[in-house]
Structure 1
């Protein structure tokens, strides 16, 4: 299992916007330079963040703004906005394990509840970390 880089890119975007929104107009090109990815990737993630109601984006040279107070945006909000978790399941099983094999026949019974506990714990931890906390932790590094 690996969460895609969209999550950390989204986090980088919000930290950058929160840090520099008063100093400069923040565009996808500015963000792409900071993150070192193609601006198209930035625009796609900005679109997902906008759809989630976390940011506003003005076309052209308008820039990006954060719509919610920083203490009301959690890492879980970012995760939900940019990661595609099918059927609310972080862990995906291989297709059709053998029903002729005792392990294949019972793998879901053996793992499903444990993997759900792991996912729930991760989501709880992400929910408890706000953009405000990240900015406070990084105050010495971001100035």
Structure 2
């Protein structure tokens, strides 16, 4: 299975929640920022909740909040909460053993793909939601200053 947009939605939602601080946000508010459907956002938030990254309260004034500090949530945490399987798709069925390329390709690709996925995991593990919140705030400050 290849990487879906669920990771981007999850990281976006977590960054919004990190920026909001102690205030909870509704799935509709997060969906507005994503220009997306609240149902999709709720599904992703449900996976994040199952992973212990967010929690929700029901009723008037309810919504979603981070379950941990933004500095304690990495992009890799978000990725693993919403994605299943490897990022890079493998052969759907074994190639031909009669072919000199086919008989070796699965093993060769497996090693390359595994190394690439490990590099991605390590990179995502170095970036926290707090880091993205700081970048958003910095960019907003730059935009405000450029309008003066």
Q: TM-score range by the shorter chain?
A: 0.7 to 0.9
Give the superposition deviation at 1:45. 0.3
Structure 2, unaligned runs of 5 or more? 142-148
TM (norm. structure 1) is 0.88
1:56 partner SS: strand
Contact 1:19 1:142 in 2 (8 A): no
TM (norm. structure 2) is 0.85
Q: Give the count of matched residue pairs.
A: 139
Runs (4+) off by over 6 Å: none
Give the superposition deviation at 1:102. 1.4
Matches within 5 A, 1:99-110: 99-110=97-108
Please give the per-residue CA displacement for 1:17-74, whole angstroms capped at 9, x wherever unaligned: 122244x541111111111111110110010000000000123441111011111100
Instruction: Quickly say closer, same or farther: Cα 1:14–1:2, change in 2 above 3 A.
Output: same
Structure 1, unaligned runs of 5 or more? none
CA distance, structure 2, for counterparts of residue 4 and residue 34 of structure 1: 19
